[in-house]
């Protein structure tokens, strides 16, 4: 049952846009941390931590590889705001990207998401961001950081900061998500 719930959340977080999301259970994450005991938990969705983008969706031939990217870190901080009625969470996402032989441009847009779930793993909010991987003429691999993301979450005695989880990952297509599942977590 837990596997089916993890599948539902991964599909909702990666294959959908910013609206109309479905909830489900959370899969294991390679990076999961709590910034402080009174902060929300932060996690990288394991199934969305890698992005392998090919020239055509059905190809997995190395000569068709446009981009291979990986989330390498998640850092941040949190602080109470508005007389302790909300908590402000600030996140920075680090990633590595390798330009494949099929990449036509030296700058490639990489989409990633930041989502907030509650204690029952329901998706409360999600936003998709883009970071540009710019490859100099003599390099095929770069390290980069996404834009700083700040979230303000309402808190109360019934909904403490620890009842939230902030989940991040690459915004994948269903084909890219299926490939990650087949290849497994790196």
Coil/strand/helix, residue 65: strand
For residue 20, the model assigns a pLDDT of: 26
C-alpha closest to that of 51 among 106, 99, 123: 99
Task: Report pLDDT digits (tens) over 153-180.
Answer: 999 989 999 899 999 999 999 999 999 9
Task: Report pLDDT digits (tens) over 3-48.
Answer: 434 444 444 444 433 332 222 333 444 445 555 667 899 999 999 9
For residue 186, the model assigns a pLDDT of: 65
For residue 132, the model assigns a pLDDT of: 94
- Residue 117: pLDDT above 50? yes
d(CA 59, CA 139): 24
Coil/strand/helix, residue 25: coil
Cα Rg, the chain, nearest whole Å: 17
Task: Report pLDDT digits (tens) over 138-153.
Answer: 899 999 998 999 999 9
Share of the chain above pLDDT 90, in %: 60
Tokens of 58: 């059905």
Strands (DSSP E) contained in 5-64 are 31-34, 41-44, 50-54
For residue 27, the model assigns a pLDDT of: 42
d(CA 87, CA 73): 22
Tokens of 95: 């990633």
Output 17 or 107, whichever has higher pLDDT.
107
CB-CB contact of 162 with 89 (8 Å): no
Which residue intervals of the chain are DSSP H helices? 2-15, 174-183
For residue 119, the model assigns a pLDDT of: 87
Q: What share of the chain is helix, strand, coil (3-state, %, to 5)?
A: 20, 45, 35
For residue 84, the model assigns a pLDDT of: 87
């Amino acid at each position: 049952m837990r596997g089916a719930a993890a599948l539902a959340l991964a599909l909702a977080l990666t294959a959908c846009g910013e609206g109309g999301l479905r909830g489900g259970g959370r899969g294991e994450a390679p990076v999961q941390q709590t910034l402080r005991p009174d902060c929300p938990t932060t996690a990288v969705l394991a199934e969305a931590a890698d992005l392998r983008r090919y020239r055509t969706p059905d190809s997995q031939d190395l000569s068709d590889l446009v981009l291979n990217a990986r989330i390498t870190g998640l850092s941040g901080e949190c602080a109470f705001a508005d007389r302790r009625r909300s908590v402000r969470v600030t996140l920075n996402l680090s990633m590595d990207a390798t330009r494949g032989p099929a990449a036509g441009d030296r700058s490639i847009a990489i989409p990633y998401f930041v989502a907030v779930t509650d204690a029952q793993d329901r998706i409360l909010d999600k936003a998709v961001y883009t970071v540009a991987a710019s490859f100099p003429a003599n390099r095929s691999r770069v390290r980069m950081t996404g834009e700083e993301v700040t979230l303000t979450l309402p808190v109360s005695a019934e909904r403490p900061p620890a009842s939230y989880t902030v989940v991040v990952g690459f915004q994948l297509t269903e084909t890219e998500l299926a490939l990650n599942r087949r290849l497994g977590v790196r």
